[in-house]
Amino acid sequence: MKQTCYIVDDELHAVEMLITYIAQTEGLELAGYSTNPLVALNEVTGDNPPDVTFLDVEMPELSGLDFTELAGSHTRIVLTTAYQEFAVAAFEKEVFDYLLKPISYTRFRKCIQRIERSNKTKAHREKRDFFYVKSDIKGKAVKVRVNDIIYVEGALNYVKIHQAKGAILSYLTLSEMLQYLPAEQFSRIHHSFIINNEKITTIEGGRVTLEGHIYVTLGRSYKETFLAQMSQSLLKSKRQP
């Protein structure tokens, strides 16, 4: 089944670019678009809400952040903006991803791939809680429990799967690992690291702390996506500060 997409942006050229990206991406279908956020809000929160809404942040009458407060429970929100400083505010909203303009097709595809991974995870709640990997010892396969993984580290042609009881070295790539691991539980936050979100103790600046006082650098190109993902688990008051 195709993922339906809606676009909200007061700049028509930005809408046209996303329409082009959606049209050339298998598995996506354009549900509609509007340059007026008030019109879009009625459509997105109607009887047939889109699966994904690509939403500009700075718009007249209703900002993208305010739109998210009203529509976030109806559709997955992917914020689009030319300004990186909105990333912190996006972290405080329940947004799925955060795309910086000008949006490249490569970055757009990464967002869609994350959505696909998330869908697969939801569709397979009965997923196995373990898997086997070939170790650095020839002929030996080692059992790895998904919930025991703290983080996975890229090491040239290998990965190190770090657990509290030690690390396992296996001839795999980080991309191969990411395809197997549950999207809602694991995040790639650096070119060399995948972390288990359930093992996070703090997120501060450009660093994530994991259980066992393990510090992992938050890569610049992964920051927006990671913060958007974490915002879905952030408890916040609706009162004014």
Between β-strands 52-56 and 3-8, what pairing exists: parallel, antiparallel or unpaired?
Answer: parallel
Q: Which two tokens stand for residue 93?
A: 């909203």
Domains 3-123 and 130-181+185-231 share a fold: no
Is it the case that residue 88 has pLDDT exceeding 70?
no
- Position with higher pLDDT, 169 vs 89: 169
Amino acid at 30: L
List the domain boundaries for the chain: 3-123, 130-181+185-231
What percent of the chain is predicted at pLDDT more than 90?
56
Identify the weakest region by mean pLDDT among 63-77, 81-95, 143-157, 204-218.
81-95
- Work out the pLDDT band at 167, boundaries 50, 70, 90: very high
Going by CATH, does the domain composed of 130-181+185-231 fall within 3.40.50.12780?
no
- Work out the pLDDT band at 126, boundaries 50, 70, 90: very low
- Work out the pLDDT band at 43, boundaries 50, 70, 90: very high
For 3-123, CATH number?
Answer: 3.40.50.2300
Is it the case that residue 99 has pLDDT exceeding 60?
yes
Q: What HEC string does 17-79 produce?
A: HHHHHHHCCCCEEEEEEECCHHHHHHHHCCCCCCCEEEEECCCCCCCHHHHHHHHCCCCEEEE
What percent of the chain is predicted at pLDDT more than 70?
90
pLDDT averaged over every residue in the chain: 88
pLDDT by residue (tens digit) across 180-210? 888 878 999 999 999 999 999 999 888 999 9
pTM score of the predicted model? 0.56
